[in-house]
A = this chain, B = another copy of it.
């Protein structure tokens, strides 16, 4: 009997045993068949990193009707690539990352392993969505996200997404979600990022620490504002980074090499 249910590929960067990915699976099982290919341990902050110099391995840890789970030694992006190349027998209808334990709004889109999954899905022309909750703790409460996750996924399935474009969805950490806002990516920046400490033998080491600052706090259209005000923030994200306006300007710059050739 042919199976006409949507096929959903899920991954995350907190590892296959994280609470956030379990919640995501629970929310999406009514919508489609799910294959999870997820890092065997937490690999947060891995962005779109690839494993080039070591071989990768994955193994099946669970199989039941409509759900298969693999753990993988790779990065979040490796997981998606391996799933598409070697595990799945057809192209999935959706690639979903998350639900991440922690905020991926603003410039965090660039550091996020969750968004590494989603950008890889978009590069492969599959509608792709990353979900993140602004709570880093292992036992964060993902239940309030459920109805929104389902709504956003079904809307994407109904309307589609343009090629090479994906979604970055962040939830504020509150049970009283005020609804959905379509947002721009906030201009944010990390500050006080390193905490130095001395090794017993004298050398200085640094731990990553700090916090993300919103550089445009008056702007009510960005995801930082939406999250600070209790809204679910959906930000669109393009795989094509080209700044076409700047391209146009730069064609007018002086590109003659004469003066430099003598140096």
Contact = CB atoms under 8 A, between A and B. Distances in A.
Contacts of A48: 47-48, 110-111
A78 B190 CA distance: 12
Contact of A208 (B56, B161, B246): B56
A243 B51 contact: no
A55 interface: yes
Interface of A: 30, 42, 44-53, 55-57, 59, 75, 77-78, 81-82, 85-86, 107, 109-111, 116, 119, 123-124, 146-148, 150-151, 154-155, 159, 161-162, 164-165, 168, 179-180, 182-185, 187, 189-190, 193-194, 196-197, 203-208, 234-244, 246-247, 250-251, 253-255, 257, 260-261, 263
A110 B239 contact: yes
A205 B56 contact: yes
Contacts of A82: 194, 206
B241 A49 contact: no
Contacts of A148: 257
Given A45-B51, A123-B107, A123-B110, A250 B187 contact: no
Contacts of A75: 49
